[in-house]
Amino acid sequence: MLKRTLFFGNKCSLTTKNEQLVIQTSEIKVTVPIEDIGFVVLEHLESYISLPTLSKLATNNVAVIFCDAKHMPQSMLLNLESHHIQQELFKNQLNASEPLKKQLWQQIIKTKIKNQSELLMIQGKQNTPLNYYASNVLSGDSDNREGVAAAYYWKHLFDFDFKRTRYGDYPNLFLNYGYIILRAAVARALSGSGLLATLGIHHHNKYNAFCLADDIMEPYRPLVDAKVIEIIKNFDEQDLITPIKAELLKVLTQTVYFGDKKSPLMVALTTTTSSLQHCFMGKTRKIVYPTLWN
């Protein structure tokens, strides 16, 4: 079932009663079944959420995202006991061999570059170099085809001079917001598959609590890029206003494809993370990613 994303940009109070999320503002009081919720984004710093509500949301694997004073997602609540054989799955993940992780990273980067190439093609841009880079990704991406592909991709993606930076202004702030939301969605799916989001395949920053989420999200990033291109075309605005945030949140429900089968992104992420779980268990050596566009 497709889960709902609830965004709270104004002051509100969130409590729980009878398996319902009770939402109260100065104007309204409504309820939403907790089982229907996938994400809660709290932007207003004076919002209230009770501890029983946080516990109930975590039990139902709802990702609760808290924003900072600049209205950017800053932290997240996830359930750490979301799978019935959690300990066994953690053990398999911890014991994954280096050759397996290098092979998985090769798959991830090859798929990412292919998706970047497809987006360039959709935008009517030359994508031949990316097809070449994708076909030459080595185990562990030892010669950094990802970086070479990224340099070409960002130079040609937009119809204006652009430099991709993590903390830059327009349209970097749109991209960054979208990536943070995507990261949260991947972390939620990993948690639901009984995997530890901290322990990455390739990313190993000791200050990063979501290394595995950063690994697995890579091939999905072009979905955010495509949404930002759409926003640039439809909004005459360079600030990250609420309507633009709402558009970026729609990425979570975007349709992707597994062969002839359609799937919303939120569901597709679970398919991907479940396949990764099977890789760590030794059942397969391939991560399942969807086709982003049909």
Residue 63 pLDDT:
87
- How large is the average pLDDT for residues 39-66? 92
The angle subtended at Cα 72 by Cα 10 and Cα 30, nearest 5°, is 30
pLDDT tens track for 60-100: 888 899 998 888 888 888 776 655 567 788 899 999 999 99
Average pLDDT, the chain: 92
- How large is the average pLDDT for residues 3-30? 93
Classify domain 4-77 at the CATH class level: alpha beta
Residue 83 pLDDT:
55
Identity (one letter) of the amino acid at 286?
K
- How large is the average pLDDT for residues 134-159? 96
Residue 180 pLDDT:
92
Residue 87 pLDDT:
77
Structure tokens at 246: 């709402």
Residue 84 pLDDT:
58
Residue 232 pLDDT:
96
Please enumerate in sequence order all residues whose Cβ is within 8 A of that of 207, keeping only pairs 6 or more positions apart, or say none.
Answer: none
Q: Distance between CA 109 and CA 146 in Å, rounded? A: 6
Count of other CB atoms within 10 angstroms of residue 32: 15
Count of other CB atoms within 10 angstroms of residue 36: 15
Residue 82 pLDDT:
59
Beta-bridge partners for 24: 13, 29
What predicted TM-score, i.e. pTM, was given to this entire model? 0.89
- How large is the average pLDDT for residues 14-38? 94
- How large is the average pLDDT for residues 27-55? 94
CATH number of 86-280: 1.20.120.920
Q: How confident is the model at residue 250 (pLDDT cuts 50, 70, 90)?
A: very high
Residue 1 pLDDT:
62
Q: How confident is the model at residue 26 (pLDDT cuts 50, 70, 90)?
A: confident
Please check the confidence at residue 207 and state whether its pLDDT lies above 60.
yes
Q: Domain segments of the chain: what residues?
A: 4-77, 86-280
Whether 133 contacts 113, CB under 8 Å = yes
Q: What does DSSP assign to residue 37?
A: E
129 or 69, which is more confident: 129
Strand order in the sheet with 29-33: 29-33, 20-24, 13-17, 48-49
- How large is the average pLDDT for residues 235-252? 94
Residue 272 pLDDT:
97
Residue 3 pLDDT:
83
Please check the confidence at residue 134 and state whether its pLDDT lies above 90.
yes
Residue 81 pLDDT:
67
Residue 85 pLDDT:
66
Q: How confident is the model at residue 162 (pLDDT cuts 50, 70, 90)?
A: very high
Beta-bridge partners for 20: 17, 33
Residue 124 pLDDT:
96
Backbone torsion region of residue 47, taken as left when φ is above 0, otherwise alpha when ψ lies between -120 and 50, otherwise beta: beta
Report percent pLDDT > 70 for the chain: 97
Residue 177 pLDDT:
94
